[in-house]
Structure formats: structure tokens, C-alpha cells
């Protein structure tokens, strides 16, 4: 097995009385896209800040590319790219001027910059917009510009904190295509997101909630963590059915999932029949039930409850 490029060991972070991270341990292998998935305030940004050496942990150890984050922070900084949640683009500067600004920050020589630029513009699709002011780019294009600014010094690991937040689905898909291209060239990526459908696109994911890493592994692995199956129910009156199920089947996890209701159970076949009869007896009509393996959202909800 190859050596991990990121090792996080028993990391805790306290902000006064707030325990933002509680004993997080994980590893990321080279070439992976590691997704940090969790709701607002889960601790994603705090963990990314600690991994990028912007912040020190209260307790625990972080090793990036073989360097200790406490003792060799500069080495780490030189070899990673970090696109923070409020990544700073200069709206009054053009695409090209923004890129040049970051090339200067990383002290790239004119030669290095000339060599790097066409490639970055090419795969991001921003070549034809180099003279446009960053402030006049669409949300998706801004994120792509932010991405290539963080790639200017050819980092080995890229940390992206909710890079597609507020970006439309089509641009999000394009953004992910770029991420795949980058990993095929050997880059390792850590990306945080609140979009669960993006979790499916990662090689490995870490589910984080209230500072705890609830699960870590491939999405396939995480889905198998819970033995239950999902009974999906569609019916004439979702709200009423939900109320009834919450009252009478409160020992099961029952939740809305899009326009249907999901019920977790270890005994799907039997419960499916029971629930159908129960709802029919309570004047719920047009009941359709199906049994599915759990989705990531189901697993997350079940682990949180
Ligand atoms: N500098 C700080 N001072 C005090 N509390 C903080 C600080 N930074 C984060 N926190 C708290 O730590 C917890 C984790 O916050 P964090 O920003 O890491 O979450 P997040 O998962 O990135 O959330 P979001 O999806 O909203 O960006 C929250 O309760 C937050 O209020
Ligand atoms: Mg955050």
C-alpha cells in the first residue's frame, strides 16, 4: 500500500467552550478526491484550516506529504493549494491580472508563469475571457478562476472549501470534470461540500457532524455501514402519513426524502406489508412501496439521529 499524503491523528479544536473538532483521525491516499461532507457548522472549514496549517489544532497531529504541520508548516504551504470558502479574487482586476497576482504571491519566475498559464486557461475554459474583469464573471466562472489561481504554483494537494456553493448544476458538473482531469494528472484533492450528490463523485468521503467524523470510506463502504434497508413510500397524503408513522412507528427512523417518505428497517419485507395495511386503515390511499438499499443521505440521517 502507498503512503498516505495526509494523516490526521486524533485532532481536536476548541474555540473557548465550542468543541469544533472532536478527535478526528483520517488518512488520504495520493490521487484521491476526499470529500468532507457535513451540514453548516459541522467543522469542515476548521479541519481544512488545520490541514492547510492556517490554524493549529488544540490537540493531535497532522502530517501532510511527510511533513509535520507544526514544525514544517512552510514546506507544506509551498506544496499545497487552498481555495478558502471566501476565496479572494480582485473584482476590479481582469482574469489575467488576478492570475498574475497569485503568480507573484507564489514568487513564480516569468518563465514558470509563461509556461503554466496556457495550460491553466485551456482546461478551465477561461482562455477567451482573460481580459474580462473578475467582477463581471458568472458565479461558476469565478469559481474556476479561483481554482486555477490556487493551481498556479503546481501544488501536489488541493484543498477546496465548498467550491461549488451557490453554483448552478451545469457549472458544478463542469467544475467536477476539471477536478477529475486534475486527479488523473496525479493531484490529490480534499473538497468540502454540503451537497450530498457531490459526495458520490468522491473516491472517499468523511461524514462530519458537530465536530465528529461519523464515517469515513468510499460511498459504497459507508452505505454498507448500516444493516437497514429503506422502505420508500409514496401515497395520497405525505404529511398525514408522516404524522401517523412518527406516532406509531417512532422506534424506526422515518424521514421525508424528496416527494416520498423513507423508513429504515432491518426487516424491510415484513414491515412493508405492515405499513401498507396500517396506512390504508388510516384512510391513506394510492400507496406505493418499494425497498431500496440506503442512500448516503439516509445513512447520514440515521447516524445523526
Ligand atoms: N474562529 C472561531 N471562533 C469561534 N468559533 C468558531 C470559529 N471558527 C469556527 N467556529 C465554530 O466551530 C464550529 C465549526 O465551524 P466550521 O466553520 O468549521 O463549520 P463548517 O462545517 O465549515 O460550516 P459551514 O458549512 O457553515 O461553512 C461552529 O460551531 C463554528 O461556530
Ligand atoms: Mg465552512
The residue whose CB lies within 8 Å of the most ligand 1 atoms, and thus the one to mutate among 19, 22, 41, 207, is: 41
Domain boundaries, position 198: 6-223
Residue nearest to atom 2 of ligand 1 (CA): 15
- The residue with cell 458537530 is 210
Domain limit, last residue, from 181, 204, 223: 223
* Structural domains of the chain, count: 2
Q: How far is CA 14 from CA 11, 51, 270, in A?
A: 10, 16, 46
**Joined grid coordinates for residue 7:** 494523516
**How many C-alpha atoms does 66 have within 13 Å on its Cβ side?**
5
The ligand with the least distance to the CA atom of 42 is 1
The ligand with the least distance to the CA atom of 211 is 1
**Joined grid coordinates for residue 51:** 490541514
On whether both 247 and 219 belong to a single domain, the answer is: no
Residue nearest to atom 8 of ligand 1 (CA): 46
Domain limit, last residue, from 223, 254, 288: 223
pLDDT (tens digit, 0 to 9) for every residue of the chain, 305 residues total?
Answer: 689 999 999 999 999 999 999 999 999 999 999 999 988 999 999 999 999 999 999 999 999 999 999 999 999 999 999 999 887 889 999 999 999 999 998 889 999 888 889 988 988 889 999 999 999 998 888 988 999 999 998 899 999 999 988 888 888 888 898 899 889 989 999 999 988 888 889 999 999 999 999 999 998 888 888 788 889 999 999 999 999 999 999 888 888 888 899 998 888 999 999 999 999 999 999 999 999 888 888 788 778 77
Find residue 212's DSSP bridge partners.
209
On whether both 212 and 115 belong to a single domain, the answer is: yes
On whether both 123 and 184 belong to a single domain, the answer is: yes
Q: How far is CA 144 from CA 125, 189, 247, 250, in A?
A: 9, 15, 48, 46
Those residues whose beta carbon sits under 5 angstroms from the ion ligand 2 are 44-45, 85
On whether both 15 and 158 belong to a single domain, the answer is: yes
Report which ligand 1 atom has the smallest distance to the Cα of 85. 27
Q: How far apart are the first and last CA of the chain?
A: 35
Q: How far is CA 148 from CA 82, 85, 170, 205, in A?
A: 11, 15, 19, 24
Indicate which CATH number applies to the domain containing 282.
3.30.70
Q: How far is the CA of 47 from the centre of ligand 2 (A)?
A: 9
On whether both 165 and 78 belong to a single domain, the answer is: yes
267 three-state secondary structure: coil
Site residues for ligand 1, CB cut-off 6 Å = 15, 18, 20, 38, 40-46, 85, 194
The ligand with the least distance to the CA atom of 49 is 1
Amino acid at each position: 500500500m502507498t503512503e498516505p499524503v495526509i494523516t490526521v491523528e486524533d485532532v481536536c479544536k476548541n474555540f473557548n467552550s465550542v468543541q469544533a473538532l472532536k478527535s478526528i483521525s483520517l488518512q488520504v491516499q495520493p490521487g484521491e478526491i476526499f470529500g468532507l461532507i457535513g451540514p453548516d457548522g459541522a467543522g469542515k472549514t476548521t479541519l481544512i484550516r488545520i490541514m492547510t496549517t492556517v490554524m493549529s489544532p488544540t490537540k493531535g497531529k497532522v502530517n501532510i506529504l511527510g511533513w509535520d504541520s507544526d514544525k514544517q508548516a512552510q514546506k507544506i504551504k509551498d506544496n499545497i493549494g487552498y481555495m478558502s470558502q471566501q476565496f479572494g479574487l480582485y473584482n476590479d482586476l481582469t482574469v489575467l491580472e488576478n492570475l498574475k497576482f497569485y503568480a507573484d504571491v507564489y514568487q513564480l519566475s516569468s518563465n514558470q508563469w509563461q509556461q503554466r498559464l496556457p495550460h491553466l486557461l485551456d482546461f478551465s475554459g477561461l482562455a477567451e475571457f482573460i481580459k474580462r474583469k473578475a467582477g463581471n464573471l458568472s458565479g461558476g466562472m469565478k469559481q474556476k478562476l479561483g481554482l486555477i489561481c490556487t493551481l498556479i504554483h503546481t501544488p501536489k494537494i488541493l484543498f477546496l472549501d465548498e467550491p461549488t456553493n451557490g453554483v448552478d448544476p451545469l457549472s458544478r458538473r463542469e467544475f467536477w470534470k476539471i477536478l477529475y482531469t486534475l486527479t488523473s494528472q496525479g493531484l490529490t484533492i480534499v473538497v468540502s461540500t454540503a451537497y450530498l450528490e457531490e459526495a458520490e463523485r468522491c473516491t472517499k468521503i468523511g461524514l462530519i457532524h458537530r465536530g465528529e467524523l461519523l464515517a469515513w470510506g468510499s460511498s459504497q463502504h459507508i452505505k454498507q455501514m448500516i444493516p437497514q434497508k429503506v422502505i420508500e413510500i409514496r401515497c395520497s397524503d405525505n404529511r398525514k402519513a408522516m404524522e401517523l408513522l412518527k406516532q406509531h412507528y417512532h422506534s424506526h427512523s422515518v424521514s421525508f426524502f424528496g416527494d416520498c417518505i423513507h423508513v429504515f428497517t432491518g426487516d424491510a419485507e415484513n414491515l412493508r406489508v405492515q405499513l401498507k395495511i396500517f396506512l390504508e386503515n388510516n384512510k391513506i390511499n394510492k400507496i406505493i412501496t418499494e425497498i431500496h438499499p440506503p442512500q448516503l443521505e439516509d445513512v447520514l440521517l440515521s447516524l445523526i439521529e
